[in-house]
Chains A and B, each alone.
Chain A
Amino acid sequence: MHRTATSLIALTFGAALAGAVAADPVEDTLVIEAEDGTVEMVTTAPAPDFLKAVTDTIYSGWHYREAETRDLERDDFDNPGMVYVDRGLDLWNSAIGKGGESCAGCHEGPESMAGLRAVTPRVDEKTGALMTVENYIDACVTERMGLESWNWTGNEMKDMLALISMQSRGMAVDIAIDGAAAPFWEEGKELYYTRFGQLEMSCANCHEDNQGKYIRADHLSQGQINGFPTYRLKDAGIVSAQQRFVGCVRDTRAETFKPNSDEFKALELFVASRGNGLSVEGVSVRH
C-alpha cells in the first residue's frame, strides 16, 4: 500500500517533469518545393478509428525531428534521397532483363506506378498473397525479366522502391485492413504489442506509450512509415520500413525477423494502416 502510494507520487512528479522538457511533435507544416511546383503534405491527421482509444491524432515522424532535418525535406534540391530516386529512374529505363526487357518497356513512365505506395502492403486479388512494393518489384524481376531476386535491402531494390514511392507523394495513405487483409492485419497487430527480447519491449511501449519523450537522445515518434523509404542521415542512405523494424527489434536485445519474412510483412501492413490519412512522403529525410 505504502509502496503504491509513493511510487504513484513519484510517477506523477516524473510525468510532470517530463512534460516540461519533452518537445512533443513540433507544430509545423510541410510544403515541398519540387521541380514542377509545390506539393502540400498532410503530416498531421485524425487517427484512424481503430486507434481512437490510443490517440486522437497521428503525426508523421517528420514532426519529431530537429529543424535542420525537417528543412532538408522541404526542397527536393536539398533532399539527399533524390539521388536514389534518380538512380531508380536509370534502372527503370535500362534493358536489364534476360531478354533485354526494361521496366519502361512494360509500364512506360514511372508515373504509371502512382498510387501503389499509398495502398501497399495489400493482398493481391489474384493470388491472395500479401504484397509490399518490394514484392511487386521482385515478381517482375524474377518472373518477367528472368533475373535472380534482388537483395531485399540492396541498392537496386531500394533505388526502385524510392522511385516508385515518389510517384505517390502527397497522396493519402489508404491501407485496407478488412476483408482478405484482416488476418494479416491481426497478425501484425499481435506482433506490434508483443514484448520482444531481453529488454521485453514492444513497438507500442516506445511508439504509443512514450511517443514525444526522449529515450536517451532519441525523440520518440509514433513510428509511422508514411515517410518510408527514408533517407537516414545516420546511415547516409535509404532505409526501407522493414529495415527500420530490424533496427528497432535489435535494440530490444531480441533476435530480429528478416526483411520480407511473413512476420515483418504483416507488421508492415499493420504499421502502415496506423498512418491512414497521412501523406505518402515519397522519400523523406530522418536522422
Chain B
Amino acid sequence: MKRKLCLVVAVGASLATPALTEVAPSEVYFAEGKVETSLTGMQGDAANGVKVMTTAGLGNCVACHTIAALPDVQFPGDIAPPLDGVADRWTEAELRGIVANAKMTFEGSFMPAFYKTEGFIRPGGGYTGKAPEGDLPPILTGQEIEDVVAFLLTLKE
C-alpha cells in the first residue's frame, strides 16, 4: 500500500516537471547577472539551440540579433548587437544569465527575459492577446535555455 502511494506521487511529479531537477524560474539564483549551474543539470544541445533561436514561436533571437554563423536565417533584425564572438566576451555563467533574464545584466534591457514567470503587467497566454489559462510558463524551458547557451558557446571569433 505504502509503496504504491510513493509510486503514484513519483509519476505525478515527473508529469508536472519534465526534468525532475529543473530549477523553477523563480528559484534561479543570479550572482551579478551570472547563473553558474545548468538549469536542468544537463548539457545543452547546440543544434536544438539553433532551432530555438531561429523559430518565431520560441526564442526568435534573430528578431533582434544577427548571427554570421547562421547565414541561412532570412531577414534577421538589427536592433541588438550581433552575436558573433559572444563566447569570447562572456563566460558560460554570464551567457546563461543573459538568456534567462537579460535585465539582471543590462538594467532595463529591451531584451525579453526568457526564463521568468512573474512580475509582468497584463501577461497574455502566448500571442493570443488573452489572459493566460492557468500558470504562465516561461517563454523557454530550462532545457531550451541550456541548448541556446550551448550554441552561444560555439560563437568564437
- Using a CB–CB cutoff of 8 Å, the interface residues on chain A facing chain B are 3, 6-7, 10-11, 13-14, 17-18, 21-22, 194-201, 205, 209-210, 213-217, 246, 249-256
Judge if B71 is at the interface, Cβ distance under 8 Å.
no
B139 within 8 A of A: yes
Whether B12 sits at the interface, judged by CB under 8 Å, is no
CB distance from B76 to the nearest CB of A (A): 7
- CB A198 to nearest CB in B, in angstroms, measures 5
B108 vs chain A, min Cβ distance (A) = 9
A6-B80 in contact (CB<8A): no
A210 to chain B, nearest CB (A): 5
> Known: A196-B121, A198-B112, A253-B123. Is A213-B128 also a contact (CB below 8 A)?
no
Q: A27 to chain B: closest CB distance in Å?
A: 20
The winner among A11, A13, A199, A201 for most chain B CB atoms within 10 A is: A199
Q: Choose the segment among B43-51, B56-64, B147-155 that binds chain A (4+ C-beta atoms closer than 8 Å).
A: B56-64
Q: What per-residue 1/0 map shows which CB atoms of B97-124 lie under 8 Å from chain A? A: 0000000011000101100100011111
A194, B62: Cβ atoms closer than 8 Å: no
Q: Is the CB–CB distance between B121 and A197 below 8 Å?
A: yes
Q: Which residues of chain B have C-beta atoms less than 8 A from A7's C-beta?
A: 89, 105-106
Give CA–CA (A252, B124) in the complex, Å.
8
| Pair B82/A17 contact, Cβ less than 8 Å | yes
Q: Is the CB of A197 within 8 A of B33?
A: no
The 0/1 profile, CB within 8 Å of A marked 1, for residues 45-86 of chain B is: 000000000001000101110100000001111111110000
Min CB gap A182→B, angstroms: 24
Q: Contact between B82 and A14 (Cβ–Cβ < 8 Å)?
A: yes
The answer to whether B94 touches A215, judged by C-beta atoms less than 8 angstroms apart, is no
Count of B interface residues, CB-CB < 8 Å:
39
Partner of B78, one of A6, A13, A214: A214
Partner of B126, one of A200, A249, A253: A253
Residue of B nearest to A10 (CB): B81
User: Given A213-B77, A216-B63, A255-B131, A201 and B110 touching (CB < 8 A)?
Assistant: yes
> Quick check: B76 and A254 within 8 Å, CB to CB?
no
- Residues B105 and A199 in contact, CB atoms below 8 Å apart: no
- Secondary structure at the B interface, as helix, strand, loop or mixed, is loop
Contact in complex: A14, B80 (CB < 8 Å): yes
State which of B62, B90, B120 has its C-beta within 8 Å of the C-beta of A197: B120
- Asked if B128 contacts A250 (CB within 8 A), the reply is yes
Residues of A within 8 A of B90 (CB): 6
**Contact at B112–A216, with CB atoms within 8 Å?**
no
20 contacts between A and B (CB under 8 A): A6-B90, A10-B81, A10-B89, A13-B82, A17-B82, A18-B79, A194-B121, A197-B120, A198-B116, A213-B77, A214-B78, A215-B63, A250-B127, A253-B139, A254-B123, A255-B122, A255-B123, A255-B129, A255-B132, A256-B129
Given contact pairs A198-B136, A214-B75, A253 touches B89 in the complex (Cβ within 8 A): no
* B4 lies within 8 A of chain A by Cβ: no
B2 within 8 A of A: no
Q: A216-B63, A255-B131 are in contact. Are A197 and B79 (CB under 8 A)?
A: no
6 tightest A-B contacts by CB?
Answer: A14-B81, A217-B75, A250-B129, A18-B78, A216-B63, A256-B129
Cα distance, A1 to B56, chains bound together (Å):
34
Q: Which residue of B lies closest to A217 (CB)?
A: B75
Asked if A249 meets B78 with Cβ closer than 8 Å, knowing A194-B121, A197-B120, A197-B124, the reply is no
Taking a contact as CB atoms under 8 Å apart, the answer to whether B123 and A198 are in contact is yes
Given A198-B120, A201-B112, A209-B110: 8 more A-B contacts, CB < 8 Å: A6-B89, A7-B105, A197-B123, A213-B78, A213-B79, A214-B77, A216-B60, A254-B121
Contact present for A216 and B62 (CB under 8 Å): yes
Most buried by A among B79, B82, B113: B79
Chain B's closest residue to A22 (CB) is: B78
